[in-house]
Amino acid sequence: MSLTEIDRIHALLPHWVESSRQQCSYGKVASYIPELSKSPIGALGIHIIDASGHSVSAGDTEISFTMQSISKVFTLILALMDIGEEAVFDKVGMEPTGDNFNSMLKLELVQPGIPFNPLINAGAIAISSLIAGASSTEKSCRVLDFLRLLSNNDSLSYDLDVYRSESDTANLNRSMAYFLKDNGVLEGAVEDVLDVYFRHCSISVTCADLAQMALVLAHNGKNPLTGEQLIPRRYVQIAKTFMITCGMYNASGEFAIQVGLPAKSGVSGGILTLVPGRYGIGLVGPSLNRKGNSIAGVALLESLSREFDWSLF
């Protein structure tokens, strides 16, 4: 009997996790959000799930971590579902920047002064203001409920220590938000918008939660386990395109060449990625490279993509 791909992944994964883990010592954990500096620098874990619910995991998959920028993919999708493409892209552009995720540089330089894309901080803050809801609390509840639905995990919640730590120290994001408000990009009170943003960044997940969310994107918005269409196909297409072009910040070009899959990373060291039509993948490795992506996580995905010929290109 020949081995299926998932059997081969199962056989190879523990070894690859251990060899990729060696990269951790060349990176650093994020410290600009003080609470994140407590993350375990040597950790690496990955969970892969297929359309029939078979899963494989290896490494430190028991640890919880905050979604950070990974949540931006889903606030974008929710805003698209709430108000449609035209209204969303009236406030946020569609182009990569080549700058750091928290850069303000081009906001003033390039007209019409709207953020370049929904995955940089300025764009995601603008998206937070577009989520439907009568108050910031209602908007935040809608985001959390949406992620609970996609992850099939009703107990998904916030890491309040990370939330407070970011909210107390976010001078740069705060200045960006006030700048956006002045440009007429943000709807509503700036601090309310920021609260929605900090809350969705601090949603606590495991690799399995991310893999489950990614599985829905891998199947064009349908949960293959239940057959339920959770997101319109068009909005998944938009989200996956941004993941390819901007998902790994200003390393997205290199990641597209070396791995070739739609992905989104966060400063907690999480990466959500997927093999279209096949797998949802969640991983965590808090030690980051200079561009802010998990150093060991990227190495592990490069090995997997090469071995199983997963690149879309």
- Residues acting as catalytic residues: 69, 72, 197, 249, 267
Minimum CB separation of residue 68 from ligand GLN in Å reads 3
Task: Between 21 and 72, name the residue whose CB sits nearer to ligand GLN.
Answer: 72
The residues that touch ligand GLN, with contacts defined as CB under 6 A, are 68-69, 101-102, 121, 166, 173, 201, 266-267, 292
Task: Between 245 and 303, name the residue whose CB sits nearer to ligand GLN.
Answer: 245
CA angle 166, 168, 174 (to 5 degrees): 80
Minimum CB separation of residue 173 from ligand GLN in Å reads 5
Task: Between 190 and 225, name the residue whose CB sits nearer to ligand GLN.
Answer: 190
Minimum CB separation of residue 157 from ligand GLN in Å reads 17
Task: Between 104 and 267, name the residue whose CB sits nearer to ligand GLN.
Answer: 267
Minimum CB separation of residue 282 from ligand GLN in Å reads 15
